[in-house]
Amino acid sequence: MATFYRIIDGLLEPARLVHSPNQDARPDENEINLLVIHNISLPPGQFGGPYIEQLFTNGLSPADHPYFKDIYQLRVSAHLLIRRNGDVIQFVPFKRRAWHAGQSCFRGRARCNDFSIGIELEGCDETPYTAEQYQQLVVVTQALMQTYPQLSVDRICGHEHVAPGRKTDPGPYFDWRRYFLALNQC
């Protein structure tokens, strides 16, 4: 069952907060008007474990898995992570800029991190997402749209849409129709 969320001072309550240093001030914190959905699994295709949190907090060890040797020095984050079981973790307050989209462009405007919120779903391009993830994503999206009125259904996209050719997430198994139908029913 999805949790009821409220946003207070840029924090999603009652999500668990894990501070990421990979953030900075937005050019204009009043201009949050895009939601970017991502996927992440570490190691790729494996779920659970501490590695996503370690990556977003600069604590990933290259000795833990061969794949980590190529990414452990990355300085990345997202505002939220929704685990496969529906647990929600916040890494960056919404009022701050998380480093999630990288080189990106939405409707002709570059630097999407400046004006977007990034939500990571624990997953990969080859695996369907869970019912718990969709439920939580819908409830979180509703809370975001209530708090940030410039956000709307037509300003929600995937990482693949703002960085085409460079990124593929949330991938072919993300059911956009299911997500948007659930948003409209609430």
Q: Which residues are catalytic?
A: 120
- Which of 183, 70, 83 has the alpha carbon at shortest distance from 132? 83
SS3 106: strand
- DSSP code, position 164: B
CA distance 95 to 76: 17
Q: Which residues contact 66 (CB under 8 A, 6 or more apart)?
A: none
Joined tokens for residue 35: 């939601």
The residues pairing with 7 across neighbouring beta strands, listed in sequence order, are 12
**How long a stretch of residues is the chain?**
186
